[in-house]
Amino acid sequence: MPSLDKSLVADLPMFAGVAPDDINEILKEAQSVRYPKGTNVFQQDEEARSFFVLLHGHLRVMKITPDGQQVVVRFVTPGDLFGIAMAMARRTYPATAMAVVDSVALVWPSAAWPRLVAKHPSLAVNTIQTVGTRLQDAHTRVVEMSTEQVEKRVAHALLRVAQQAGRKGDDGIQIDFPISRQDIAEMTGTTLHTVSRILSGWENQGLVESGRQKITIRNPHKLFMLAERPTD
């Protein structure tokens, strides 16, 4: 397999503070893998044999709760480190990651993780920061689910995804990968019917435009104000 070009990854958060020669050394243990749309990168409770960095595409991370409910945990965007079960002292993946578009990821064997972080401490620091950010995001979502009305939860979810993977245009901010109303329902702990009703109302107000697996935020400022409006 040809060697990977470090210029593709040098600016990614995972490699912040890592010397160029060290990046080359780390990349020698990785391989580039393509995941066609609709295929799983890994499944919940599967043995965590690998960890990953997404180079291209988008992934949906889903978790099945003990009572059988599917929850969309988050979306993985290019540059994200994911599948790092080893860093959380887990032997299995806590959720399923599926490609929502054709995607490409760098893949390392999990067995290499302890050796890599011991030799390159910046990797460990960067990973701790990544895990910390995700825990904070999860905490924020739990608070939203517990205390906020559904409309505000949906607004926060759209703004969060747009911040991660939004593409600015003349007509607003388009979420740059397929996302369905069902995805939003599973992100916010509500029903497809409720999300459809909310988005239809927002479309009438000119806040958003939604089609089949496509959402554009027409008026980000007004949506933000709605999300941050004090609860009655």
For 171-218, the pLDDT digits (tens) are: 889 998 899 999 999 999 999 999 999 999 999 999 999 887 889 999
Q: Average pLDDT for residues 112-127, to the nearest whole number?
A: 92
For 49-81, the pLDDT digits (tens) are: 999 999 999 999 999 999 998 999 999 999 999
Beta carbons within 10 angstroms of residue 218's beta carbon: 17
The percentage of residues in the chain with a pLDDT greater than 90, rounded to a whole number, is: 64
Q: What does the pLDDT read at residue 219?
A: 93
Q: What does the pLDDT read at residue 164?
A: 86
Indicate whether 2 pLDDT > 60: no
Domain 6-138: CATH architecture, name and number where available: Sandwich (2.60)
CATH 2.60.120.10 positions along the chain are 6-138
For 139-174, the pLDDT digits (tens) are: 888 888 888 899 999 999 999 999 888 888 888 899
CATH 1.10.10.10 positions along the chain are 148-227
| Average pLDDT, rounded, for the chain | 90
Q: Which CATH number fits domain 148-227: 3.40.50.2000, 3.30.470.20, 1.10.10.10, 3.20.20.70?
A: 1.10.10.10
